Chains A and B, each alone.
Chain A
Amino acid sequence: MEVPILKQGAVLIATFQAALSDADLNQLRMGLVQQVVKFRSRAVIVDVTAMDVMDSFASRTLREIAHMIRLRGAETVIVGIQPEVAFAMVQLGLTLEGVATALDLEEGLAYLNEKFKTTN
């Protein structure tokens, strides 16, 4: 299952589906980084609202995406982690340390707007 990536100005928005396999996640990682380069994007929002399970692999992949994109000089914000998923992640010992998170897409965009304003 491929993850759709939308281009919204300088921001790329990737929306996760419920049932992503490891292969899908790996593909998304490459796809996102390539598109950030192609479109000279300044930020990526990864919307995980639909994700039912965030296990160690998914969590590590998200962190890797954020770090790779930071090396490109762009920002990543993970939005929409469901309360139950957050609870399971903490039990599992998974933190998305060093990765920005926001409540939902709207909050994520607001966070980026604020950030770009202060750096410009």
Chain B
Amino acid sequence: MSVGEIRVAINSDQDIVTARQRGRVMASELGFSSGDATLIATAISELARNIVSYAGKGQITLKIANTLSRQGISVVATDDGPGIPDIRQALRDGFSTSGSLGLGLPGVRRLMDEFEISSQPGQGTTVTVKKWRQ
């Protein structure tokens, strides 16, 4: 069965749970160990929470990320929220503007193998993370 692409609309805290559960199932189907599936699910949880806290709504897309030599999963978190004025600052441990822990983005970066962010004030944020299968 082809896993393909899964989109989860993120509008409320309940959707955070849905997104991370879908991510765990997909990771397992792609052959990730249960430990790695937990890391992926945790990263999805943080990314989805950022959407709810900062943008209100957005989307998480889960995709197969295969190259010639590697197989993996890609998680794309997009929103049309206010955007991040200073990305470098947002990637620093302990920084937060929503009164949360401020561990979100740097933590997500540590959980995954690849991390990419693009954001402009007023134009939303897209975070793409990937994890490769061991």
Residues of A within 8 A of B (CB): 19-23, 52-57, 59-60, 82-85, 87-89, 91-94
* Total count of chain B residues near the partner, CB < 8 A: 26
Q: What secondary structure prevails in chain B residues at the interface with A?
A: helix
Known: A53-B38, A54-B42. 13 other contacts (CB 8 A): A53-B42, A55-B46, A56-B100, A56-B107, A60-B101, A87-B35, A87-B38, A89-B42, A91-B39, A91-B110, A91-B111, A92-B110, A93-B103
For A93, give its contact among B34, B38, B41, B107 (CB under 8 Å). Answer: B107
Stretch among B14-22, B58-66, B71-79, B80-88 lining the A interface: B14-22
For B13, give its contact among A23, A84, A93 (CB under 8 Å). Answer: A23
CB-CB nearest in chain B for A59: B101
In the complex, chain A residues whose CB is within 8 Å of the CB of B119: none
Q: Taking the complex as formed, is B24 at the interface, i.e. its CB lies under 8 A from any CB of chain A? A: yes
CB contact list, B35-57 vs A, under 8 A: 35, 38-39, 41-42, 45-46, 49
Q: For the complex, what is the distance from the CA of A89 to the CA of B43, rounded to whole Å?
A: 10
Residues of B within 8 A of A (CB): 13-14, 16-17, 20-21, 24, 34-35, 38-39, 41-42, 45-46, 49, 93, 100-101, 103-104, 106-108, 110-111
Pairwise interchain contact A93-B14, C-beta atoms closer than 8 A? no
Q: What secondary structure prevails in chain A residues at the interface with B?
A: helix
B22 shortest CB reach to chain A, Å: 12
